[in-house]
Amino acid sequence: MTELAQDKMTTLREFMAEVAQREYSESYLIAVLHKAQELFGYLPREVMDVVAEGLEIPTAHIWGVATFYHYFNLEPIGRHVVSVCMGTACYVKGANRVLDALKRELAVEVGQTTDDRLFTLQEARCLGACGIAPVIMIDDKIYGELDSEKVIEIIRQHRRL
């Protein structure tokens, strides 16, 4: 483990130790997993093992919770997170084609990260920008009125960043 990762692990352990003082510490599992994801960017197996021991919660229960909620990432995520809106408006206006183009350009499936760790592709529920459907969000910026060509151009721009 790198020194940085060790520091992060220490921070996580301290956070759990604090939580463990409280009554029903098991119920803080989600808070602890959030903290872990904030520190590591995703939830690596070793980190879930540490959480399991720290909170005395079996790993299977942790796995059940971590896979249930969409906001937990089980794999490392890329520098840029690309979310494709699959809300009704976007869907009707061809979000599927945009998504397919992204899958081809990035050579990943939804939920995966490119080998160079630059992009993670995700699906999103309505992003609230139906007026300019179909839309995607990269990190926290919205791009609208897309088609397969435009979206590839946007990705290429981000590669050059």
Partner 1 sequence: MKNMITIFINDKEYKVEPDQTIMKAADKLGFKIPRLCYHPKLSIEGACRVCVVEVEGHRNFVASCAFPISDGMRIKTNTHELRRARRDIVELILDNHPLDCHTCERDSNCELQRLAASMGIRARHFAGDRKRYEEDLSSDAVIRNPEKCILCGRCVRLCSEIQQVHNLTQSHRGFSTVVTPAYNAPMAESVCTACGQCINVCPTAAFLEKNYTQELFSNLNDPTMIKVAQFAPSVRAAIGEAFGLPVGTNMEGQLVASLRLLGFDYVFDTQFAADLTIMEEASEFLERVKGNGKLPMITSCSSAWMKCLEQFYPDLIDNVSTCKSPMSMQGAMTKTYFAQKLGIDPSKICSAAAMCCTAKKYEAARPELMFDGMKGVDIVVTTREIAWMIKSAGLDFVNIKPEQPDNPLGLSSGAGAIFGTTGGVMEAAIRTAYDLYTGQTLIDIEIEAVRGLKGIKEGSLTMDGKEIRVAVAHGLGNACKLLDVVRKDPDRYHFIEIMGCPGGCVGGGGQPYPLTNTVPLDDAALTKRAKALYDLDRGKTIRRSHDNPGVQKLYKEFLEHPLSEVSHKYLHTHYQAKLPVGIIPKEAKKIEVKP
Binding site for partner 1 (CB under 8 A): 25-26, 45, 48-49, 52-53, 55-64, 67-68
131 closest CA partner among 94, 86, 90: 90
Task: Compute the least distance from the CB of residue 148 to partner 1, in Å.
Answer: 26
Four-residue CA torsion sign, 16, 17, 18, 22:
positive
Shortest distance (Å) from residue 30 CB to partner 1: 15
Which residue, 55 or 129, has its beta carbon nearer to partner 1? 55
Nearest to 77, CA basis, from 27, 35, 138 = 138
Q: In the sheet where 119-124 sits, what is the strand order? A: 119-124, 80-85, 136-138, 141-143
Which of residues 48 and 108 has its CB atom nearest to partner 1 in the complex? Answer: 48
Q: CB-based contacts of 71: which residues, under 8 Å, 6+ apart?
A: 37
Q: Would you say 121 or 146 has its CB closer to partner 1? A: 121
Q: Minimum distance from CB of 41 to partner 1 (Å)?
A: 18
Residue closer to partner 1 by CB (options 20, 138) is 20
In whole angstroms, the minimum distance from the beta carbon of 63 to partner 1 comes to: 4
Cis peptide before 134 (omega within 30 of 0): yes
